[in-house]
Structure 1
Amino acid sequence: MRVSHWYLFLLILFYIQVRCIANFRDHLVTKTPYRFIENDNVDVGPYPGCEIQKSWMMIRHGSRYPNEEVLDFMQNTLPDLRDDILKFHNESKGHFNEYQLSIFKKWSPLNISMSEEKYLSNEGRIEMERLASRMQLRFGKIMPKHYSNRTYIFKHTPTERALESAKHFAIGLFGESVAKNVTFIKTAKNDPVLRFYKGCKYWEKFVKKNYKTYEQFQLYNGGDEMANALKNISEILGFNEPLLYGIAKLLYKTCAFEQSFWGEDYVSPWCFFLTDESIQALEYSEDLKYYWVDGYGFPITQKLACTVLKDIAQFFLSKNSYSSTFQYSHSGTILKILSYFGLYNTDGVLKSNNRDPNRSWRTSYIDSFASNIGFILYRCGDVDKVLVLHQERPVRLPECEEELCPLVTILKARKESLIKCDIKKMCSLLHEEL
């Protein structure tokens, strides 16, 4: 083969990879690696006449290993499925090309022990270190490279992935040797700020365990769009019968987890079956579930996050020496906070029959691994103003006219929720819906 032909062949293979990436990377819901959405632009402002004072951040842990169910599926079911796919191809079934089949032939399951389920992965460590480095470039005055336990506060939930995320964020700020001296505060499982919904009997009964919460999710999964998606996936794999939704979802998760596990240049063969049609159906199914469980489905869900605003206000208004506080939590916390502040609520009520590909509530963007919400306090003359960041990008709260918003405006807009912010009372099974 002439050199020019080799070059053309390599270009074609590269094009196939890029097409694969384009098909799935924007639709991996809450398992999206943060590198797909991180903000490399470290420029903020300027805000003339304003001086930065403090920062408060809530950060979801970085990319992690799969849970036990997904690990078991990947290690004990996928090798047989891979062999079936190669066999189907020899029988002229399925729709994989030779390049994709070569990747399947080389594939082997992740070598992860069940005891390491949900542990922070190497990708998660990198995400945290890079995020910290960028935040320091933006706000070095209140995030100095010199560590002091009188300047910084680090809090985390009692999970390995949250603690390790905090440690690697600290490495990104101070370097590895200094980070060993950082004080990390482990909170209770039901901490009123980091996991305010844990142990809330009212929320668990009337939201998490309420069949109505999953009604739209189940209707969509039993509807025509999902049926067509499952049929499409089955045809690509080479199956004679439509795939069960549960199997398709596990394949979908495998695609996401392998992308984060193997890093930026790897394309998992378990992403090859995800056409635009099928992946958007799988994505919307998950978005429906998270919308109703952790978002705008029920008023109590977002109202519980009033404790977060109370914590922010107390930190900003206190006269202590702390300049930055970082708290490491989980997906459910991030989504509830976004809902409490009225963000990504421009779609109307999400239902099984109104999928909008351009909707704002897309967990692939708003709740990836390492998702983060930051509140940066500025003093502008004699007025305290707040810059709100989500995924490192300025966002304007509904009540704010500009991205740098008076703190009093934010507090006034949620005055009633702050007055009624009694977690014990809200979580009582005896109280009426707030």
Structure 2
Amino acid sequence: MLATIGRMMFFMLWAALLARLVTGQSQDSCYADDVNPYLLFATDTPYEEVNDMNARPVIIEQCEAKQFWLISRHGTRYADADEVDDLKDLYDLQAKIIKNHEKDGKGTLCAQDLENLKLWTLQVVSNVKSDLTPQGYKDLHDLGDRFKSRFPALFNQTVTKDSFKVRFTTKQRTAASAIAFVDGLFGTGMGLEFPEPLDDDLLIKPYASCKKWEKDVESNKDTTKEMKNFEGGALVTTLLGTVSSRLGFDKTLDIDDINLIYSACRYDKAWHLDKVSPWCAAFTDDDLKVLEYREDLELYYSTGYGNDLNKKVGCPPVKDFLDRFSDIEKGNAQPAGVLYFTHHEMILLLLTSLGFDKDQQPLTSKNYDQMSNRQWRSSVISPFAANLAAVFFECGVGEPYRVQLYFNEHLLDIDGCTKGLCDWSYFKKQFGSISSSCNLDFC
């Protein structure tokens, strides 16, 4: 009997070992089974990964919200037409990875990850051109619904063409995001005017019309120098090798292949929050952090503190809400809500102008390890639907006017303020110079 059991155990173990050899498996875990995967994907991060879902009413004793001002990035979008064409190349990689595992016995994807990869198809076509996805609509609709819950008195009033102002850029994704947010606030956009977007919008997309910024930042090779140095460094070189080996390739994949896989990984997840992208199985958490930092390096110099010009280009929205709040203080009429919908560049430029999320040392290609807890992390500060809300209150006791700022729905705790509630007089002293000095004549 014992001998029979021994033989059975032997054959079972042999069968398990053979299965692993046939499929090239050597991983102890599957990405598909990871209950806490790393989902900070730089500017393609799902908004649900970073926002504050707490939508309890904001109650400030003897204070009434007079104006809600918002600037938001559009919600989750589809890949653009060029990206879609590039992503089609993944079908060839998909076939090779499956062959590597099943025929050649190479690669270390687990059986479930490999099966998921077999079932993968590209869920987008070229003609959507970066349009808002269904998830993107939900991003903004739910955002509007939560802000309505926080400030019910402000948003339950009768809606007229003058009570709420909406503005967006020329892209479908920002216009659709505006509609989604308004739907979340009121259930319908009826009564609100949606103006034609401006081709050159110096308020919510000034960088696109600033020739000096285009020349000195966007087209300047120095802007991407640190990112390219990082790509040529040891961390990315090692990543290329380990990912290639994990997928069963003898020859190291190039950075373009890795970029495609990374794009598919993060787009798949952003488009379908409840599903697992098989392409993410190509990376470890550490790999994803390296790729995230690479994008942060580019953004730090193109829209952040890596170039002094960015602070100047980012000031118009700051000036807008400061001037509007000053008008209310002076007794001038202002709408109850001002709603702007734009792009990630504007959000990052705005933060730079305000001096938020600034690290003590600059991001470089050499200090990845030291910057693991950096403030300038695009996954957190510029995911899909990233937003800054400023709320102006009139109060019956103490300081007559006060301000709160919410970033991605988190109440900002600003130095010198009490639990995120700032006296307007103090707030003006801290940030008023941004309004008085904001001038785009240099463009």
TM-score relative to the length of structure 2 = 0.87
Q: Which residue of 2 aligns with 1:303?
A: 312
Superposition deviation, residue 86 in structure 1: 0.7
* Counterparts of residues 237-386 of structure 1 (less than 5 Å): 237-261=247-271, 263-318=272-327, 319-355=332-368, 356-380=371-395, 381=397, 382-386=399-403
Gaps of 5+ in 1: 1-14, 428-434
The CA distance in 2 between the partners of 1:403 and 1:270, in whole Å, is 41
The CA distance in 2 between the partners of 1:80 and 1:398, in whole Å, is 53
The CA distance in 2 between the partners of 1:398 and 1:290, in whole Å, is 26
Cα deviation code 1:78-131 (max 9, x no counterpart): 11111111100021111111111111111111242x221100001101111111
User: Do the aligned partners of residues 18 and 52 (structure 1) sit closer, same or farther apart at CA in structure 2, a change above 3 Å counting?
Assistant: farther
Matched, 1:163 2:180: no
User: Do the aligned partners of residues 288 and 138 (structure 1) sit closer, same or farther apart at CA in structure 2, a change above 3 Å counting?
Assistant: same
Superposition deviation, residue 48 in structure 1: 2.6
Matched, 1:87 2:102: no
Matched, 1:22 2:31: no
* Counterparts of residues 195-234 of structure 1 (less than 5 Å): 195-234=205-244
Report if the CA contact (8 A) 2:301-2:307 is conserved. yes
Q: Which residue of 2 aligns with 1:61?
A: 74
Farther-moved stretch of structure 1 (404-413 vs 102-111): 404-413
Matched, 1:418 2:418: no
- Match of 2:155, SS? coil
The CA distance in 1 between the partners of 2:207 and 2:191, in whole Å, is 31
Structure 1 runs of 4+ with >6 Å offset: none
Superposition deviation, residue 418 in structure 1: 3.0
User: Do the aligned partners of residues 321 and 285 (structure 1) sit closer, same or farther apart at CA in structure 2, a change above 3 Å counting?
Assistant: closer
TM-score relative to the length of structure 1 = 0.89
The CA distance in 2 between the partners of 1:149 and 1:107, in whole Å, is 47
The CA distance in 2 between the partners of 1:415 and 1:169, in whole Å, is 29
The CA distance in 1 between the partners of 2:87 and 2:35, in whole Å, is 21
Superposition deviation, residue 184 in structure 1: 1.2
User: Do the aligned partners of residues 409 and 241 (structure 1) sit closer, same or farther apart at CA in structure 2, a change above 3 Å counting?
Assistant: farther
**Could you say what the CA RMSD is over the residues aligned between the two structures, in angstroms?**
1.9
- Match of 1:52, SS? strand
The CA distance in 2 between the partners of 1:28 and 1:111, in whole Å, is 19
Report if the CA contact (8 A) 2:68-2:336 is conserved. yes
Cα deviation code 1:368-423 (max 9, x no counterpart): 00000000011233432110110001113456565111233333234444333221
Report if the CA contact (8 A) 1:145-1:173 is conserved. no
Task: For 2:393, give the aligned amino acid.
Answer: Y
The CA distance in 1 between the partners of 2:73 and 2:111, in whole Å, is 39
Report if the CA contact (8 A) 1:23-1:275 is conserved. no
The CA distance in 1 between the partners of 2:137 and 2:157, in whole Å, is 19
The CA distance in 2 between the partners of 1:288 and 1:327, in whole Å, is 27
The CA distance in 2 between the partners of 1:398 and 1:349, in whole Å, is 22
- Percent sequence identity is 27
User: Do the aligned partners of residues 314 and 414 (structure 1) sit closer, same or farther apart at CA in structure 2, a change above 3 Å counting?
Assistant: closer
Gaps of 5+ in 2: 1-28
Superposition deviation, residue 20 in structure 1: 4.2
- Match of 1:142, SS? helix
User: Do the aligned partners of residues 306 and 240 (structure 1) sit closer, same or farther apart at CA in structure 2, a change above 3 Å counting?
Assistant: same
Report if the CA contact (8 A) 2:319-2:434 is conserved. no
The CA distance in 1 between the partners of 2:127 and 2:340, in whole Å, is 25
